[in-house]
């Protein structure tokens, strides 16, 4: 739980609460904190900026670079502690609940009723956007992490075909290596490594195992042989990165695949936003496959705009932002560019490319089959402290500070226990 209701914050709330009669004219501006600074992300955000500008709202951008959002969340914490609430902030699952519990979020329930969000937004997302019966956040999209992004020309050159099992994937990486291409494009940052490990765990143990270990935090699953085998598989796959991978940003890893300097990236479908921005076409320039062994399952996250309890004269702008974000037309236009899929179930897939159509169909099927699970690396498996413990252990293993799978399992169990 986050504690930061300082005197300043309480004062700001009190002033904000003075009510309609005391306030000056509504502020026609939204202030948005986010970590969407790559080419594809910025292009997607532009769709929203333009929609709001048509409604007469100015955009005050608060970008904090750093994929996965750790830096952005540190900045947000400082702003909120100072009583300086943005209109909204990009947030992932359990972080929304933390802020809601701390009592600093606004209440969008009226807008939600007017717009019919209850019926349109899947329950898996409402679990995080509704707190104590009140809408406190608005989901922008649904991303999923269990994807491979492959350069088609390189694939053709090495005579590769879609890997159906983890061993197939290793064989494919070997082919690329033999042809002198970097097999695996990865950025050695903890959140990227853990995002890839999410897929490996699902592939190694299946969706039920993933859910028990990384959503229910079941101790027996966390310390199981299957978890050990998952670390063995992680050790196998990281052998295929290039020597410069440490610290590389995720979008630079995507660029390696786009340019044909690398064969494949294992990444959430925000990577597809980079292919879209580079004007690349699925099946012609690149291939999107589910991580082998995870077909039929979706490990998801969703970008939410957490709505803060801003002063009364900023609430109209906040309501407009919320309504625009969940409008059907925006959900299509934005997600086509972002690489994600709509956060509403009633948006047609017409405007989406082949990968987007597959993403939408997969989400629907996984949801119906009980194979839709929250990503631990991406804030939808457990509370932020636990996700951070997870990212830390995975990263130490990748970078050789933890030497064996046995030791990695032990440290994972310990770190998660400490963070509970
Ligand atoms: C994720 C977020 C995506 C994408 C990615 C890389 O956490 O959900 O929208 O932005 O980080 O920055």
Count structural domains, the chain: 2
Which residue, 341, 362, 383, sits at the end of a domain? 362
Q: Are residues 157 and 77 in the same domain?
A: no
**49 and 138 co-located in one domain:** yes
Boundaries of domain holding 117 = 7-142+302-362
Q: Which pLDDT value is given to residue 393?
A: 98
Measure 67 CA to ligand 1 centroid, in angstroms: 6
pLDDT in tens, 47-81: 999 999 999 999 999 999 998 899 999 999 999 99
Domain end point (choices 343, 362, 381): 362
Verify whether ligand 1 is closer than 6 Å to residue 300 (CB atom).
no
Residue 24 lies in a domain: yes
List the CATH number of the domain containing 253.
Answer: 3.40.190.10
> Quick check: CB of 35 below 6 Å from ligand 1?
yes
146 lines ligand 1 (CB under 6 A): no
> Looking at the domain assignment, is residue 2 inside a domain?
no
User: Does any ligand 1 atom lie closer than 6 A to the CB of residue 16?
Assistant: no
Q: Does 265 lie in the same domain as 336?
A: no
pTM summary value: 0.94
Q: Are residues 154 and 273 in the same domain?
A: yes
Residues of the chain short of pLDDT 50, as ranges, are: 6-22
Residue 1 lies in a domain: no
DSSP codes, 148-198: EEEEHHHHHHHT-----SHHHHHHHHHHHHHTTSEEE---BSHHHHHHHHH
Q: If residue 33 lies in a helix (H) or strand (E), which one and from where to where? A: strand 29-34
- Residue 218 and residue 109 share a domain: no
Question: Residue 226 to residues 208, 222, 308, 405: CA-CA distances in angstroms?
Answer: 12, 9, 41, 11
Domain boundary among 316, 339, 362: 362
**303 CB near ligand 1 (under 6 Å):** yes
Q: Are residues 332 and 295 in the same domain?
A: no
Considering only CA atoms, which residue is closest to atom 1 of ligand 1? 68
Inside any domain, residue 159: yes
């Amino acid at each position: 739980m986050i504690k930061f209701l300082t005197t300043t914050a309480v004062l700001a709330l009190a002033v904000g609460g003075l009510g309609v009669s005391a306030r000056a004219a509504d502020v026609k501006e939204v202030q948005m904190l986010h970590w969407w600074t790559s080419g594809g992300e910025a292009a997607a955000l532009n769709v929203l900026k333009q929609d709001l500008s048509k409604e007469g709202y100015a955009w005050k951008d608060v970008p904090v670079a750093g994929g996965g959002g750790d830096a952005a969340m540190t900045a947000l914490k400082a702003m909120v502690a100072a009583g300086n609430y943005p209109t909204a902030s990009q947030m992932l699952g359990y972080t929304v609940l933390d802020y809601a519990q701390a009592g600093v979020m606004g209440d969008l329930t009226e807008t939600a009723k007017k717009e019919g969000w209850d019926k349109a937004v899947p329950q898996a997302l409402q679990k995080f956007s509704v707190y104590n019966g009140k809408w406190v956040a608005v989901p922008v999209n649904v991303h999923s992490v269990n994807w491979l992004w492959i350069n088609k020309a390189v694939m053709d050159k090495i005579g590769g075909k879609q890997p159906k099992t983890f061993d197939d994937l290793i064989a494919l990486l070997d082919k690329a290596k033999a042809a002198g291409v970097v097999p695996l494009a990865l950025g050695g940052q903890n959140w990227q490594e853990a995002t890839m490990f999410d897929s490996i765990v699902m592939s190694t143990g299946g969706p039920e195992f993933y859910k028990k270990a990384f959503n229910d935090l079941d101790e027996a699953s966390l310390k199981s042989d299957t978890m050990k085998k998952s670390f063995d598989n992680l050790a196998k796959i990281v052998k295929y990165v290039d020597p410069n991978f440490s610290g590389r940003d995720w979008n630079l890893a995507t660029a390696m695949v786009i340019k044909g300097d690398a064969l494949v990236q294992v990444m959430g479908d925000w990577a597809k936003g980079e292919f879209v921005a580079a004007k690349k076409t699925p099946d012609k320039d690149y291939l999107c496959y589910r991580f082998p062994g995870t077909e039929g399952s979706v490990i998801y996250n969703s970008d939410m705009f957490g709505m803060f309890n801003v002063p009364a004269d900023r609430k109209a702008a906040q309501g407009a932002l919320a309504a625009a974000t969940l409008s059907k037309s925006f959900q299509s236009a934005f997600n086509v560019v972002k690489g994600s899929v709509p956060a509403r179930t009633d948006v047609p897939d017409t405007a989406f490319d082949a990968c987007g159509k597959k993403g939408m169909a997969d989400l629907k099927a996984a949801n119906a089959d009980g194979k839709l699970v929250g990503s631990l690396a991406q804030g939808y498996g457990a509370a932020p402290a636990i996700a951070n413990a997870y990212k830390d252990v995975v990263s130490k293993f990748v970078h050789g500070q933890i030497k064996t799978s046995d030791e990695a399992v032990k440290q994972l169990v310990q770190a998660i226990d400490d963070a509970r």
